[in-house]
Chain A
Amino acid sequence: MSTARDMLCDTASAVFAEAATAGIAPVEAAGFALLLVPEADGGFGGDWGDLNAVLKIAGVMAPDLPVAEHILSGLGEMSPALHAAATVSLMAGAMEQALALSVEHVNTRQQFGRPLGKFQAVQQSLAVMACEVRAVDAAAGAMAARLDAAGFTDADFEIAAAKLRANRAVGVVTAIAHQVHGAIGFTQEYDLNRVTIPLMRWRGAHGNDAHWAGILGRQVASLGGRGLWETLTARAV
């Protein structure tokens, strides 16, 4: 990661922490609407990789605030596909947080005289969850890379694939996170619901599974079996 992106992420973490109690105002005041605006136009000149990194943090720290909408508003671009793309990054961050909370919980909570994480059944569940979280993170990163390489008018395949993959991970990730937490994870007080409820909401926002599966499926069908491979390899490496 670049130094500029590290600094951006540090700023985002501090601002989103404040926003968690103060609302969207600190995000607006910090100028996040300028993130994607070119430097020549007085903006930050950030790329989609930067946006992905910032929104992953927002997905952890400020999942209930319209951070993605605010940043995209700076572009003056209201394309539904871009909102879907931004949502994938939020989902990737929220899933990382659900996994981190789950790992911490099972390493701390003791039952039958040992931490839950010592039980193979729990280990196997968390491994399944981790695979989904890694997949969504990879999808978000590759989608951002395509947006940077080709611009948002030619990233339709990647946005569709990434949103669909992220949607499909939501059920597994939220179910396992709650299962390994037991009753404490079902309380309003405990932090898990702060990411799992947004994940449930985001699955249906800006295109649910059926929406993107239909679009992507018809696009791939029009390519033909060999055409799919040729298209995949032509679009990335």
Chain B
Amino acid sequence: MQDFALYPFDPPGDILALRTDLRAWLAINQPEGDIVERANCWASFDTGFSRALGAAGYIGMTLPARYGGGDRHPLERYVVIEELLAAGAPVGAHWIADRQTGPLILRYGSEEQRQRYLPGIARGELYACIGLSEPGAGSDLAAVRTTARETAEGWRISGQKIWTTGAHLSHVMLALVRTEEGSERNAGLSQFLVDLDTPGITIRPIIDMAGNHDFNEVFFDDALVPHGALVGERGQGWKQVTAELGLERSGPERYLSSHALFAALIDAAGADPDPAVAALIGELAAEMWTLRQLSMSTAAKLAAGEDPMVEASVVKELGNSFEQDMPRRIQAVVTSGWEDPDDLARLLRALLIASPSFSLRGGTREVIRGIIARGLGLR
């Protein structure tokens, strides 16, 4: 069984000042918006907010200053993102670029790619999407069939991605495609940075059950990208993607994205709550506090240069269950009607409808549990 030692969360610098400054900044710059936008806020796109946040130095914090970054410690960034999520700030536009595309470009990208993309990411102006899932490759990611064929003028990409969140609002896709003809499964895959205005790319919306347009289908019809669009080593795409998913799965968004609902429940309960409501608040608070400890320990392990693949999966599994069960448990004890206009009722309805996606995005519950089982020494 792998070692699960807890890592102390010990960021450098004055963390109290970092929180205080950011809270003061948010008090001025966070758009009032609708309360429902504050729940699931990493899906809320607000390019104006992202630019302002970037200008204030809160995006690309861990990137080197020579690429426009903040040269800050990863755990300082952790503190900033947990504050943004707890406040329900609309961080969706830059979220993926800041969380995973930027760090991946820094780690595996060429100097040209770093200079081309990282400053825009850090300014909160350049947005990215993740090109992994395909119609025949969902949980079974190694079944990817989109191909890139090397030619004299560059790479020709053909195939289709699906469930691509934010593709219609993004500038670039980090796509996993098959570069080695006849290769199978996780061999022969490579990653490309594909500018989405490239001719031969078509983006079509998929409307989700909440009525929102987050998902897209992205079609590649012999789209030509330059030789320099290949990221890292040809044929090493699987290894690079695995590292990227570690960044994706362990963050505080896995337990804080519905925080607006919990806060609304607490406010609606008042100082002298009904016993059943008080008990639920107590249970949710205990779970949230525990998840925060797990997430911080995992972030600390990641920051120490270790690979917390299994811990990240534990955070995702427990966090998804916490967030998915929260609206259901709240509905069981409050009197809110489905159509009621108050904050609690509206957040409750929105999150009941949104919550099935929580254990699908970023790896399904079944895949995540499989990773944990392997970490236990099963299989």
Chain B associates with chain A = yes
Interface, chain A (partner B; CB < 8 A): 1, 99-100, 103, 106-107, 117-118, 120, 122-124, 126-128, 130-131, 134-135, 137-139, 141-142, 145, 157-158, 160-162, 164-165, 168, 209-210, 212-218, 220-226, 228-229, 232-233, 236-237
The answer on a CB contact under 8 Å between B278 and A217 is: yes
- Assess the A237–B79 pair: CB atoms within 8 A: yes
Interface centre among B6, B266, B287 (most CB of A within 10 A): B266
CB distance from B21 to the nearest CB of A (A): 14
Considering only CB atoms, which chain B residue lies closest to A96 in the complex?
B4
- Report whether A103 and B266 are in contact in the complex, using a CB–CB cutoff of 8 Å: no
Contact residue among B270, B285, B369 (Cβ-Cβ distance under 8 Å from A128): B369
Contact status B278-A107, CB under 8 Å:
no
**Interface size on B (CB < 8 Å)?**
60
| Contact call A214/B278, Cβ cutoff below 8 A | yes
Q: How near does chain B come to A142, taking the closest CB pair, in angstroms?
A: 4
Interface centre among B8, B277, B293, B311 (most CB of A within 10 A): B293
Given pairs A130-B373, A135-B314, A233-B82, 6 additional interface contacts (CB within 8 A): A139-B286, A139-B290, A145-B8, A161-B286, A221-B272, A228-B285
Tell me whether B266 and A164 are in contact (CB under 8 A): no
Q: Please determine whether B271 and A127 come into contact, CB atoms closer than 8 angstroms.
A: no
Chain A proximity mask over B274-300: 1 for CB below 8 Å, otherwise 0: 010111111101111111111011000
B294 touches A217 (CB 8 A): no
- B182 at interface, CB cutoff 8 A: no
A-B contact count (CB 8 A): 171
Q: Which B residues are in CB contact (< 8 Å) with A128? A: 317, 369
Chain B residue numbers with a CB within 8 Å of A137 are 4, 6
Counting CB contacts under 8 A, is B370 at the interface? Answer: yes
Q: Does B231 contact A (CB under 8 A)?
A: no
Q: How far is the CB of A91 from chain B (nearest CB, A)?
A: 13
A165 lies within 8 A of B378 (CB): no
**Bound CA span A13–B273, Å:** 46
Are B283 and A131 within 8 A (Cβ)?
no
Contact of A218 among B82, B273, B297 (CB under 8 A): B273
Min Cβ gap B79→A in Å is: 7
Q: Report the bound CA distance from A100 to B2 in whole Å.
A: 12
Max count, chain B CB within 10 A of own CB: residue among A135, A217, A220: A217
User: What are the nearest 5 A-B pairs in CB distance?
Assistant: A225-B263, A217-B282, A217-B278, A213-B282, A216-B282
